[in-house]
Structure 1
Amino acid sequence: MATQHTYRVIVRGKWDGLTAESRTKLLTEVDAHGLDRFTFTPEGSLAYDTPLHSFSYRFVIVSDAADGEEMAAALAEDKAETALRAAGLGYRDLRSSATDMDTMKINRKSR
């Protein structure tokens, strides 16, 4: 069995082709999707603001370490696309960045 690593992935994108109905829905829910509620979760946490130009998703992805950050980013983008399609929301220009939490070095302040 391969070693599993935990990745934190941020998927960013731009809204595209939003209908009047979807814009209204997003705007009525904007307070629930602010940066103060933006956390890394396996199902993804969506954040955006009222101009409705862009959005971000934060995911926790557990994946084989051998597959690396690229695979974790691809899995997160797939989850974001699935969620956006299910909600009937148009998007474009997805890009992501992943951090391997198991190999991340933490610098402690010396006393």
Structure 2
Amino acid sequence: MATQHTYRVIVRGKWDALTAESRAKLLAEVNDHGLSQLRFTPEGSLAYDAALQSFTYRYVIVSDASDGEEMAAALAEDRAETALKAAGLGYRELRSSATDMDTMKINRKGRQPQGS
């Protein structure tokens, strides 16, 4: 079995050709989709503001380490597209960035070097 890694992926896009009904629904739910509610989850967490210009999804993707960040990003974009299409929401210009959480180095601030 291949080694699995956990990736955090941010998918960004722009709203496109929203119907009046879609705009009204998004605006009615805007307070539920602010930055303070944004989390990395397997289902994806959607954030946008009342301007309805752009949006962000955050995903946790677990996939084979050998497939790398590119595959994790592609999987997250596919999930975002599926969710947006299911909701009947128009979008364009999806782009993503992925971070491999299993290889990420953590710099601890305020840590004193040994011997100090």
SS in 1 for 2:61: strand
Per the alignment, residue 43 of structure 2 pairs with 43
**Distance in structure 2 (CA, Å) of the matches to 1:38 and 1:106:** 22
Q: Which has the larger radius of gyration?
A: 2
Q: Please state whether the residue corresponding to 1:88 is helix, strand or coil.
A: coil
Which portions of structure 1, spanning 4 or more consecutive aligned residues, are displaced by more than 6 angstroms? none
**Tell me, which stretches of 5 or more residues in structure 2 are unaligned?**
none
1:70 counterpart letter in structure 2:
E
How much is the aligned-residue C-alpha RMSD, in angstroms?
0.4
Aligned to 1:7: 7
* 1:88 pairs with 2:83: no
1:94 match: secondary structure: strand
Partner deviation per Cα, 1:16-74 (whole Å, 9 max, x = no partner): 00000000000000000000000000000000000000000000000000000000000
Distance (Å, rounded) in 1 between the aligned partners of 2:108 and 2:25: 44
Stretches of structure 1 lacking an aligned partner (at least 5 in a row): none
User: How far apart are 1:87 and its partner, in Å?
Assistant: 0.1
Scaled by the length of structure 1, the TM-score of the pair is: 0.99
Aligned residue in 2 for 1:23: 23
Q: Secondary structure at the match of 1:59?
A: strand
Displacement of 1:108: 1.5
The one-letter code sitting in structure 2 at the alignment partner of 1:11 is: V
- In structure 1, the residue matched to 2:98 is 98
2:72 aligns with 72
Question: C-alpha distance in 1, partners of 2:54/2:64?
Answer: 30
For normalisation by structure 2, the TM-score amounts to: 0.95
Amino acid of the residue matched to residue 63 of structure 2? Answer: S
Residue 56 (structure 1) aligns with: 56
